[in-house]
């Protein structure tokens, strides 16, 4: 009983001290959260966080969209950007650096050793998607087809497709690459008929709106999972 009381009071004291230390530190008037373009899942997360920070605290938070997280990670490292919503693939590749980590022999990201994780997000499922009237049903069906690729501003998407292809015993050499800069551009290429498949987060606002009421008018999402996926 005595030990329990000591732990309880020690916890209360720690909370009080933490609160006083926070009050003693002068907070900035505003902060900026870097994220992917509007219409992506990451933008929605950033907007939600900014709303909570601005509404519940003394500072204002601003959402700053970029072409992709690969483009703003160096700004996080240099301190020019306060926060950023970054996927685990790019954060790991950037933090480790190309000298220490490569996937499939590739890591084009600059080393960002000063970046730090302050909050872990929930898992995000991604998949190759095709048009509703497409005959493709599994990852094996994309062989020889036009697939959105390169993704220099969202290099994690390149790795997502790379692993999906590898799961079916294929590489990028087995498909016709349609170069796009970022994730939303891949969906645009699919809707506009320039690509047969593209990668996107499942349930993302962009894929819902663009494929269900896109230019073609007959498009809807469909996921190309390999039956042997792990």
Any idea what the CATH number is for the domain that residue 163 is in? 3.40.190.10
Bridge partners of 149, per DSSP, are 179
* Residue 108 lies inside a defined structural domain of this protein: no
Mean pLDDT rounded to a whole number for the chain? 81
Mean pLDDT (whole number) for 57-83: 92
| pTM for this entry | 0.74
Provide the pLDDT for residue 184. 86
Q: Phi, psi at residue 205, to the nearest 5°?
A: -60, -40
Domain boundary (96, 114, 148) is at: 96
- Which string of DSSP letters, residue by residue, matches the chain? -HHHHHHHHHHHHHHHHHHHHHHHSPPPSEEEEEEPPTTSHHHHHHHHHHHHHHHHSSSEEEEEE-S-HHHHHHHHHHTSSSEE---HHHHHHHHH-TTT--BTTB--SPP-TT-----------EEEE--TT-S--SGGGGTTSEEEEE-TTSHHHHHHHHHHHHHTT--GGGSEEEEESSHHHHHHHHHTTS-SBEEEETT-HHHHHHHHSSTTSS----B---TT--
- Which string of DSSP letters, residue by residue, matches 111-143? P-TT-----------EEEE--TT-S--SGGGGT
Distances (CA, A) of 1 to 4, 7, 14: 5, 10, 20
- Residue 49: give the domain boundaries: 2-96
* Residue 14 lies inside a defined structural domain of this protein: yes
Same-domain status, 51 and 131: no
Provide the pLDDT for residue 214. 46
Same-domain status, 69 and 145: no
Q: How many structural domains does the chain have?
A: 2
* Residue 217 lies inside a defined structural domain of this protein: no
* Residue 121 lies inside a defined structural domain of this protein: no
* Residue 208 lies inside a defined structural domain of this protein: yes
Each residue of 167-191: pLDDT tens digit? Answer: 999 999 999 999 999 988 998 899 8
Mean pLDDT (whole number) for 136-162: 93
* Residue 230 lies inside a defined structural domain of this protein: no
Q: Are strands 198-201 and 126-129 parallel, antiparallel or unpaired?
A: antiparallel
Largest CA distance in the chain: 72
Mean pLDDT (whole number) for 183-208: 82
Each residue of 100-121: pLDDT tens digit? Answer: 999 889 999 999 999 999 888 8
User: How far apart (Å, rounded) are the C-alpha atoms in residues 185 and 166?
Assistant: 23
Same-domain status, 26 and 91: yes
Same-domain status, 136 and 191: yes
Same-domain status, 11 and 91: yes
Same-domain status, 63 and 130: no
Domain boundary (96, 118, 144) is at: 96
Same-domain status, 92 and 131: no
* Residue 116 lies inside a defined structural domain of this protein: no
Same-domain status, 152 and 201: yes
Mean pLDDT (whole number) for 121-149: 88
């Amino acid at each position: 009983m005595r030990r329990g009381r000591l732990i309880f009071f020690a916890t209360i004291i720690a909370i009080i001290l933490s609160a006083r230390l926070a009050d003693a530190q002068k907070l900035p008037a505003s902060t900026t959260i870097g994220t992917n373009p509007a219409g992506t899942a990451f933008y929605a997360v950033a907007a939600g966080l900014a709303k909570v920070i601005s509404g519940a605290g003394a500072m204002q938070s601003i959402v700053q969209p970029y072409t992709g997280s690969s483009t703003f990670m160096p700004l996080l490292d240099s301190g020019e950007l306060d926060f950023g919503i970054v996927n685990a693939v790019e954060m790991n590749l950037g933090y480790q650096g190309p000298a220490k980590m490569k996937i499939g022999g590739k890591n084009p990201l600059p080393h960002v050793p000063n970046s730090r994780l302050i909050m872990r997000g929930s898992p995000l499922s991604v998949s190759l998607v095709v048009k509703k009237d497409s005959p493709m049903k599994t990852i094996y069906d994309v062989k020889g087809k036009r697939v959105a690729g390169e993704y220099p501003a969202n290099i994690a998407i390149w790795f997502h497709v790379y692993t999906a292809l590898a799961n079916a015993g294929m590489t990028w050499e087995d498909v016709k690459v349609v170069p796009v800069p970022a994730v939303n551009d891949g969906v645009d290429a699919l809707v506009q008929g320039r690509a047969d498949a593209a990668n996107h987060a499942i349930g993302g606002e962009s894929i819902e709106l663009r494929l269900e009421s896109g230019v073609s008018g007959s498009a809807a999402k469909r996921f190309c999972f390999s039956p042997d996926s792990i």
